């Protein structure tokens, strides 16, 4: 098998055509091309820490967020979120996903349990069409609340923590 060497900042389209990695030349890329990927990662592990959000109220608060500055006008943003929650009792934790100040997704049963001492993973995959121009900074924020019980979202304690992340992928429309 041969090796394909491309100079720095050059990508290859599905038809084999090379194009540069600048805002002006992304127009040569086919639909579905991944432009960039950015991530907020709370890796968890075995170190002592505290949860990203501990709440027992129905008032929503930020858990985690990540920003991306678009390189292509009218591109899609694939938003992928993993957020682990813990409850020592009955829990109904809710989530909302915002792009800047606009709510784009939500789940009234994001973390739900009718038993005690349980870890719950909340996973979101949302393909957003922000209709933005190139160079626009978009901030995606996951918020949480609890309408019943105490929720420890983005869970960590003295023994370590769970993996929590927001991954944003810009894709050419």
Could you state, in order of their start, the residue ranges of all structural domains in the chain? Answer: 1-30, 31-171
Written out in words, the top-level CATH class of the domain with range 31-171 is: mainly beta
Q: How do residues 43-60 score in pLDDT, each as one tens digit?
A: 888 877 889 999 999 999
pTM across the whole model? 0.84
| Predicted local distance difference test score (pLDDT) of residue 23 | 43
Q: How do residues 118-156 score in pLDDT, each as one tens digit?
A: 899 999 999 999 999 999 999 999 999 999 999 999 998
Q: How do residues 61-95 score in pLDDT, each as one tens digit?
A: 999 999 999 999 999 999 999 999 999 888 999 99
CA atoms of 21 and 7, how far apart (whole Å): 10
CA atoms of 6 and 29, how far apart (whole Å): 16
């Amino acid at each position: 098998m041969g090796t394909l060497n491309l100079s720095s900042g050059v990508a290859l389209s599905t038809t084999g055509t090379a194009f540069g990695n600048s805002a002006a030349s992304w127009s040569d890329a086919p639909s579905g091309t991944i432009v960039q990927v950015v991530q907020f990662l709370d890796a968890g592990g075995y170190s002592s820490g505290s949860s990203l959000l501990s709440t027992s109220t129905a008032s929503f608060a930020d858990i985690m967020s990540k920003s991306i500055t678009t390189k292509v006008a009218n591109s899609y943003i694939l938003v992928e979120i993993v957020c682990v929650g813990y409850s020592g009792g009955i829990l109904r934790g809710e989530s909302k996903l915002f792009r800047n100040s606009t709510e784009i997704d939500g789940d009234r049963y994001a973390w739900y349990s009718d038993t005690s001492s349980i870890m719950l993973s909340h996973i979101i995959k949302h393909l957003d069409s922000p209709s933005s121009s190139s160079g626009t900074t978009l901030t995606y924020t996951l918020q949480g609340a609890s309408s019943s019980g105490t929720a420890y979202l983005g869970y960590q304690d003295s023994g370590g923590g769970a993996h929590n992340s927001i991954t944003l992928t810009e894709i050419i429309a």
